[in-house]
Structure 1
Amino acid sequence: MSEPTHARPVDVSERVTLLDALRGFALCGVFVSNSFMWFSGRILLPRAQAQALSAPPLETAVSSLYQFFVNQKFVTLFAFLFGLGFSIQLQRAEARGASIVPLYSRRLLVLLGIGVTHIFALWAGDVLSTYAVLGFALLLFRQRSDRTVLAWVVVLMFGVPLAVSALQRFGPILLHGAQAAAEAAKASEAHAAQMRARFLEGLSSDSFWTTQAANARYFLFVLPQANRLTWMSAVLGRFLLGLLAGRHLLLRDVERHRPWHRRLLVWGLVLGVPGNGTGLVVQRLRLAGLVDPAKDTWMFALPTVQELGYLGLAAVYVAAFALLFQRERWRRVMQVLAPVGRMALTNYLLQSAVSICLYDGWGLGFVGELPPSRCVALSLAVFALQVPFSHWWLSRFRFGPAEWLWRSLTYGRAQPMRPRPGSAVEPAAS
């Protein structure tokens, strides 16, 4: 079926303010997480140096709070919202009597181009390119039953990570014996540490070109060796959860689904507290030398337990946000984040640009130097500036700059940037 000529970006009046606000909330958590682990260089530091930065009581508390409440929860939420957005676009295409495939494929290809540019111009930790690639897999599930989609969620989020972890743990032992497997694991870790140190050295350079060369080298030669299959499998599973939520209007008709959200709060806590608590306890035991992943075979199941914890607390955030948003007083506060969510792509790219200026050696050179509390405070301060900036921009224009580019390339024509005379730019507070 040919695509109708009236396919267009949605107007402000058609947007769901709850989803925009929730996306802004998720973007804040994603930025804190990226700053804490990546932009700060913490994940690249030798263990002793990272532990020294986190040793004071305040830093230990901040690190523990981050691990329990932030780590992987907001990236889970962000991926969930991507899948939910696909579901909304699918419903709108069906309402027009059109196939979503041509337009959505162009949308993903443009996003892929933006992501690749982001990788090499700014930061190797880009998620846009991954979302674009996995977005094509979403198209395969658009006509699948809920039961089929849910089965794939279980396989992708828990089955694949568990199988990969088991193969990594026991495969070398079965093939080469315990001693040879241990030596190979030790050599692999030494090589990984060397590559991290090389990347950190590049980021610490006072030359922009040296830092970006190190960034590109890390993306091309190190990240592909990481557990990309496990991570991408989990991301696609989160997409599919968003697809299911969108199908049943769970966040577009919250009042009707209020009992469901209350149950989600309870079950999210049941899964989230033990799952994240286990991860936090194991981390502390490792720091104390009481747990050794190379020797304790039960550790292969830890990523699956943690994934349950991530999903549980992310579900708590979604349900709590949705229920509170139904209250007038809370809605007035929470919808302050809606413009940030409407400009999520622009703000995400801005976060990377500002962060490399703050942390890389040619900028302020904070990489590898700041303790956890200062990294969190710095990221929250930058995000706090993005809130009024987003309000200011959207009071004058229909889209953020990156959103305008994305839509214009997707639809094959420049979209009008200024609002139509007499039309509201931002959704009115209800």
Structure 2
Amino acid sequence: MMNTETSGRVDLVDSLRGFAILGILLMHSIEHFNLYLYPTIENEWLVLSDTILNSSLRFALSGKVYTIFSLLFGFSFFIQDNNQLKKGYDFRPRFLWRLVLLAIWGFINVMFYTGDVLVLFAFVGLLLLATARLSNKVVLCIAVVLLLQPVEWVKIIYTLLNPDFVWGDSISWQYYLETAPVLKDGNLWETMKMGLTSGIGFGFGWWIEDGRVFQIAGLFLIGMLMGRRGIFLDTSQNIRFWKRTLVIGVLCYFPLAGLHTILMGFIENKNIHHFADIILTCYSCFAFFTFLTSLFVLAYYRTNFHNLLTKLAPYGKMSLTIYLSQSILGGFAFHNWGLGLYTLSTTAAVGIGLLIFAIQYTFACWWLKSHKQGPLEYVWGKLMWIGSKR
């Protein structure tokens, strides 16, 4: 077990989480919060701006910021569990109740944003309970197996053995065809009802079909292991670890990304093509995620960017409040029940996202001047410990 009282750890993790949530907001804004309608742009300068922003932000953030968010969820579980163990308490039953509350937050969130991840986190979080007392080696082995996307490999093997087998149509796409008209034309009440039905179906369908369930589960375990090893502490040993990880991430990403591009052109079977695409996308995203996280940690601890990056800490410290309010503010901006700006160009959509960030960040800094945690974090914590003598 690590010493969780070391100075500087919390600020780094909160700053990293703040970076991840900002990235999530920008990606959601580009996607018009799951309403994929875009205008025809004639202005050449705007076309250039849209292309640059869309390509660069998707390259740097898409599939990566959620991995950071997932990793830190497992890390936070370890911190809470370890703190209670040092007091002589088993945190796991209380964490189970915490997951139930997280699912409730998720059901609230999905009424405004059909891509909610909190309900999924609540279900996958059960894996942390099951593995919390296993050895590091066992947990690492489980994590590696999960990150390798075993189900997609089984599908490929089955398809090779049964080439005439026809896999069903995309579940998430079928649900999207139900959600999009409501986001485009529905009022607030209709949007909220849709979120609790087809909206949940769309979200879960997408996470399952794109291999994200296994990826998130593996990242939860990696985050827990990083907590056990104290990897986020500012020590010379850890700095060497992050430098090696940065190099390995770069060396792995480009071959994987290149293989992805080349291999897709040689696979004729559309089912195998789809499953291989999922596998290689998850692998390359994981490689880039390790590079991105390492770069952030090294920049935080060893460069002049420390003062800039640490300013993200208030945004990350109120992650639940920020995440839910993003859905409400983003839905209000882009969906019909609000301003209905779903036909904005990518450039304008990013501008809306940055405006939402400015509003949230200002609120977070103001709120944390007089409170130790965000408003929803406070409610979540009070409900989690209800009935205890804590």
Task: Pick which of 248-257 and 237-246 moved more.
Answer: 248-257
Partner of 2:28: 34
Equivalent residues of 1:108, 1:132 under 8 A apart: yes
1:124 and 2:99 correspond = no
Dislocated runs of 4+, deviation >4 Å: 49-55, 167-171, 191-195, 220-227, 276-279, 290-299
Cα deviation for residue 118 of structure 1 reads 1.8
Q: 1:203 aligns with which of 183, 202, 205?
A: 183
Give the deviation of 1:50 after TM superposition.
Answer: 8.4
**Residue 376 (structure 1) aligned to one of 344, 350, 353:** 350
Distance 2:173 2:104 in 1: 31
Decide which of 307, 322, 331 is 2:306's aligned counterpart. 331
Q: CA deviation at 1:62?
A: 2.5
- Pairing of 1:226-305 with structure 2 (within 5 A): 226=206, 228=208, 230-276=211-257, 281=261, 295=270, 297-305=272-280
- Cα distance, 1:56 vs. partner? 3.3
Taking structure 2 as the reference length, what is the TM-score of the superposition? 0.86
Q: What do you get for the CA RMSD once the two structures are aligned?
A: 3.4
1:217, distance to aligned residue in structure 2 (A)? 3.2
* Corresponding position: 1:312 with 2:287: yes
How far apart in 1 are the matches of 2:114 and 2:158? 25
Are 2:9 and 2:233, in contact at CA under 8 Å, matched by a contact in 1? no
Q: 2:318 aligns with which of 328, 343, 347?
A: 343
Residue aligning to 2:58: 67
Work out whether residues 24 and 338 of structure 1, in 8 Å CA contact, stay in contact via their aligned partners in 2: yes
Partners of 2:67 and 2:202 lie apart in 1 by 23
Report what 1:87 is aligned to: 78
Change (3 A) 1:294 1:265: same
What is the number of equivalent residue pairs in this alignment? 384
Give, in whole Å, the separation in 2 of the partners of 1:25 and 1:150.
26
1:96 corresponds, among 70, 87, 101, to 87
Asked if 1:404 corresponds to 2:370, the answer is no
Q: List runs of 5+ in structure 1 lacking aligned partners.
A: 1-9, 416-430
Residue 226 (structure 1) shift: 4.2
Bigger shift: 203-212 or 49-58? Answer: 49-58
Please list every run of 5 or more consecutive structure 2 residues that lacks an aligned counterpart in the other structure.
Answer: none
Decide whether the 8 Å contact of 1:275 with 1:310 is kept in 2. no
- C-alpha distance in 2 between matches for 1:328 and 1:414: 44
Displacement of 1:195: 4.5
Report SS of the residue matched to 2:304. helix
- Aligned residue number for residue 331 of structure 2: 356
Q: 2:226·2:232 contact (CA, 8 Å) conserved in 1?
A: yes
> Residue deviations 1:304-330, cap 9 Å, x none?
222121111211222122222224732
Give, in whole Å, the separation in 1 of the partners of 2:154 and 2:87: 42
Name the counterpart of 2:12. Answer: 18
Q: Secondary structure at the match of 1:56?
A: helix
**Structure 2 CA distance for partners of 1:169 and 1:381, relative to 1, 3 Å:** farther
Whole-angstrom distance in 2 between the partners of 1:36 and 1:66: 9
AA at the equivalent of 1:411: W
Counterpart mapping for 1:119-198 below 5 A? 119-120=110-111, 122-163=112-153, 165-166=155-156, 170=160, 173-174=162-163, 177=164, 181=166, 188=169, 195-198=175-178
User: Could you say if the C-alpha distance between residues 227 and 133 of structure 1 is closer, same or farther in structure 2, counting changes exceeding 3 Å?
Assistant: closer
Equivalent-residue separation in structure 1 for 2:230 and 2:368 (angstroms): 27
Report SS of the residue matched to 1:233.
helix
How far apart in 1 are the matches of 2:234 and 2:204? 41
Once the two structures are TM-superposed, the CA of residue 40 in structure 1 deviates from its matched residue by 5.1
Query: Structure 2 vs 1, CA of residues 225 and 147 (structure 1 numbering), >3 Å: closer, same or farther?
Result: same
Once residues 295 and 240 of structure 1 are traced to their aligned partners in structure 2, the CA distance between those partners, rounded to angstroms, is: 33
**C-alpha distance 414-90 of structure 1, shift in aligned 2 (>3 A):** closer
Deviation digits for residues 199-228 of structure 1 (CA, Å, limit 9, x no counterpart): 221111152222223333323544454452
CA distance in structure 2 between the partners assigned to 1:192 and 1:104 by the alignment: 30
Are residue 395 (structure 1) and residue 369 (structure 2) matched?
Answer: yes
SS at match of 1:257: helix
Does structure 2 conserve the Cα–Cα contact (< 8 Å) formed by 1:20 and 1:339?
yes
1:383: how far off?
A: 1.2
User: Which structure has the greater CA radius of gyration?
Assistant: 1
Decide whether the 8 Å contact of 1:36 with 1:376 is kept in 2: yes
Does the 8 Å contact 1:40/1:375 carry over to 2?
no
> Deviation digits for residues 222-259 of structure 1, max 9, x if unmatched?
44544527321111101111111111100024443111
**Aligned amino acid, residue 354 of structure 1:** L
